[in-house]
Amino acid sequence: MVRRGGCICVVFLLVIGCCLACIPAYAEGNDLPVTFALRICKVDDGTGLPVGGAEFRLSREDGAYLTEDRQWSKNETEAMTLVTDDTGIFTVETLTPGVYALTETKAPKGYELLAEPVRIEVVPEYARI
> Where are the alpha helices (H) located in the chain, listed in sequence order?
none
What per-residue confidence (pLDDT) applies to 19?
29
> Is residue 36 a contact partner of residue 123, using CB atoms and an 8 Å limit?
no
- Terminal alpha carbon distance of the chain: 54
Hey, CA dihedral for 53, 55, 58, 64, is it positive or negative? positive
CA distance 88 to 11: 13
pLDDT confidence of residue 96: 86
Q: What's the predicted TM-score (pTM) here?
A: 0.72
71 touches 96 (CB < 8 A):
no
Burial of 22 (0-12, 13-18, 19+ CB in 10 A): middle
pLDDT of 105 reads 96
What pLDDT, on the 0 to 100 scale, is given for residue 29? 55
Taking the CB of residue 74, how many other CB atoms lie within 10 A of it? 12
Residue 78: phi and psi, rounded to 5, are -90, -5
CA angle 122, 116, 125 (to 5 degrees): 10
Sites in the chain below the pLDDT cut of 70: 1-34, 125-129
